[in-house]
Amino acid sequence: MAAMMSMPPSSPSSPLASQSLSAPSRQASNLPVRTIPGSYGLPLVGSISDRLDYFWFQGPDSFFRSRMEKHKSSVFRANVPPSFPFFMGVNPKVITVLDCSSFAYLFDMELVEKKDVLVGDFMPSTSYTGNTRVCAYLDTLEPKHAPLKNFALEILKRGSRVWVEELEANLDKFFDTVESEISKDGSSSFIPLLQTFLFYFLSKTLVGADPALDPGVANSGPLSINLWLGLQLLPTVPLLAFQPLVEIFLHSYAYPFALVSGGYRKLYSFIEQHGKEVVQLGEKEFGLSKSDTIHNLIFILGFNAYGGFSIFLPTLLGIIAGDKTGLQARLRDEVRKVCGSSAGLSFDLVKDMELVNSVVYETLRLNPPVQLQYARARKDFQLTSHDSSFDIKKGELLCGYQPLAMRDGKVFEEPESFKADRFVGKGKELLNYLFWSNGPQTGSPTESNKQCAAKEYVTLSASLIVAHLYQRYDSISGDASKITAVEKAN
């Protein structure tokens, strides 16, 4: 999701044409120049020590917080896994950036490059993507980057024609099943249902292919994507239980594509057969090969969109369903006031729902779907935090831990607290510092940067889901994995 391509131009059927705010200005260069604190430790030993802290003894949040406090700096050196002894070709040495000022440099394409650093110096085997480097792994200066971004731009533009219709239709099926499970079992563990909804909705809007036409994929598609995603990312994902078994058996290998090749081939055949119009678009209008087109479509569908939404939406629903402050009543009132007598929803309608949109933004601030952002210095340059400047050398890898950067107390008041109306009214100026989308929320995705092309679709889709929820229900109860009760609208 955070690596999708450039944004389609605004049109009556598109969710774009959003308000533009000025980007945050860079710090003046008269800040004191400071040597980057921290070290990588002794050869081999240092990386192993940091790896165990990150994966086992501390977990990512404490790993970064403790070092920021120790060095009294939001910029410091550290090792991030995976690393020796099981990943011999991976260099774990990074320069960590943890405040909004330094974090912004990760997206300045004049200073940094994004070649093969989607998940750091470790890159999953290209066998997972048909032996091709898909757009998410390409730097902006590589020749194939522009046509692939432009292809995805067109996919989003075309998908916007049916986006709201498909979203609402599949949402109704999702909530019908949730209600049925609550009636039968007293609650609904909704994650599998949500992923089925996402697979159908995204397949039809992005790929133009209906899973119902292929019973095999309809039944196995979400599971195939989950396994495909999981095996690629497992060496980098903290699992803070069952140690040391996790370290020994799960974080010690790069897993072979053969374990998920059958499901991937089914997805490829599904798109080849039922998404012909979109595949031909890639070939005829953007000069892509058929295989490159389909492999990039699978990555956009499975990694970017399905993967990102699968993390983000349960968190959003959990925050709303578990709230005890009266937020649900405020959201319900706003939705019904803005919608009035309108029978259906639209992008334009939800743009006017300030509180709904703010709740979506605040959820993304505190719980970004992608926690780590990476970039490699394209040349020597000077990076600034709020209080210091640091010399960065060409080739050094920058690593931003987004949950901490988005809790920058010099930018966000009460940064650890969920404030539903943080981005309402003048609070919209803070969108300059909301970086969930591989760039600021106020940024403009283009073929010359790596910002999520679908950033407006993501936030507006989430707002549409909240609006649909309060057209259908007066309230819901539950958490990020389970819905325990719904009260239907009068």
User: How many C-beta atoms surround the C-beta of residue 11 within 10 A?
Assistant: 12
Q: Can the peptide bond before residue 85 be classed as cis, meaning omega within 30 degrees of 0?
A: yes
Which pLDDT belongs to residue 26? 53
The CATH number of the domain holding residue 49 is: 1.10.630.10
* Mean pLDDT value across residues 250-254: 91
Rounded CA gap, 357 and 171, in Å?
19
CA torsion sign for 227, 233, 238, 242 is positive
Which pLDDT belongs to residue 112? 98
Q: Does 152 map to a domain? A: yes
Q: Does 118 map to a domain? A: yes
* Mean pLDDT value across residues 245-267: 95
Specify the pTM.
0.93
Rounded CA gap, 340 and 26, in Å?
43
Q: Can the peptide bond before residue 15 be classed as cis, meaning omega within 30 degrees of 0?
A: no
Condensed to tens digits (0 to 9), the pLDDT of residues 314-355 reads 999 999 999 999 999 999 999 999 998 777 899 999 999 999
Q: Does 93 map to a domain? A: yes
Condensed to tens digits (0 to 9), the pLDDT of residues 37-80 reads 999 999 889 999 999 999 999 999 999 999 999 999 999 999 99
Condensed to tens digits (0 to 9), the pLDDT of residues 204-246 reads 999 999 999 999 999 999 999 999 999 999 999 999 889 999 9
How many helices and strands in the chain, by DSSP H and E? 17, 9
Q: Does 7 map to a domain? A: no
Query: Containing domain of residue 62, as a range?
Result: 45-488
The answer to whether the beta carbons of residues 421 and 351 sit under 8 Å apart is no
Helix axes 354-366 and 327-339, enclosed angle (nearest 10): 130
**Count of domains forming the chain:** 1
Element (H, E) at 165: helix 163-185
Q: Is 436 helix (H, G, I), strand (E, B) or coil?
A: strand
Q: Does 318 map to a domain? A: yes
Which pLDDT belongs to residue 185? 97
Q: Does 231 map to a domain? A: yes
Q: Does 15 map to a domain? A: no
Which pLDDT belongs to residue 44? 87
Q: Does 54 map to a domain? A: yes
